[in-house]
Amino acid sequence: MNTPLVKRAYNLGLKAVPNFAEVLSEGQIAYYEEHLDELQAALRRGFIIPTLETAAIIESAPPALFKASETDLDYWLDQTQKYAKKHLGVTIDLRKRFNIPAELPWKSVIPVFDPGNMTNRQMVEKVLKGPGHDVYEETDVMKYAGSDASSDPTLHFIENSIRPNADTMNMSPNYLCETGKSYLRLRGYGLAFAVYHFAKGKPLDPETYTWFPMDRLSDGYVARGRWSPDYRQVRFSWRGPGSRLSFSGARVAMPIPLKP
């Protein structure tokens, strides 16, 4: 970058600092203290706090797409198939069974394959405890919505990241549901965790929580999951649907259709 330009921008920033306290509200300052990754976008559009309306405008541009052939998708599909055969007793060719897209919204994905005959309880016992992971349940995982088997096999792609999607952090489960996006569910999280650990020997969410916005108890409380380094456990707990936490987000799940 041009050094004189950097100096000019730095000096301009110093002149702008005294105006922040007079122009920005306490809420705006608090929001951007917790969302430093949004500062560049805020400089372009103004230091507004994104709402459902502004988010729709901000996200109106189509997402960048990556050619699947130029990503590591083949590696991850192979790892998922190896995991399914070894730990689920399922032999499947995901490329032949599902319509794998030619383009992806992320540079790398984790395939989440559900054979269709598995409940939340079977996921915990077979997918997680089977390979040796300890599991904690604040509430029986069968009490959440979506706990029964799906009957048909399903495949979803999520971003290959140990953290939830960046743009979902500090968003409540209720807000996430209002976006209309498809998010990873509790059973899918167990499958994703197991495949990722199988391939890389590392856990998901050692410092964060993943919300499952659609997986709710009868009183409305929402499921979430993480890996606890202290307890060496995959932990499933719950919290209020309006909770906004800087260390919690969700994982967008891209459904991959079955071939006819």
Mean pLDDT for all residues in the chain? 88
Band (pLDDT 50/70/90 cuts) for residue 205 is very high
Please tell me the predicted confidence (pLDDT) of residue 15. Answer: 72
d(CA 140, CA 62): 40
| Candidate from 118-122, 143-147, 148-152, 236-240 with smallest mean pLDDT | 148-152
The arithmetic mean of pLDDT across residues 156-162, rounded, is 98
Tokens of 260: 């006819």
Quick check: pTM over 0.85? no
pLDDT tens profile 172-196: 999 999 999 999 999 999 999 999 9
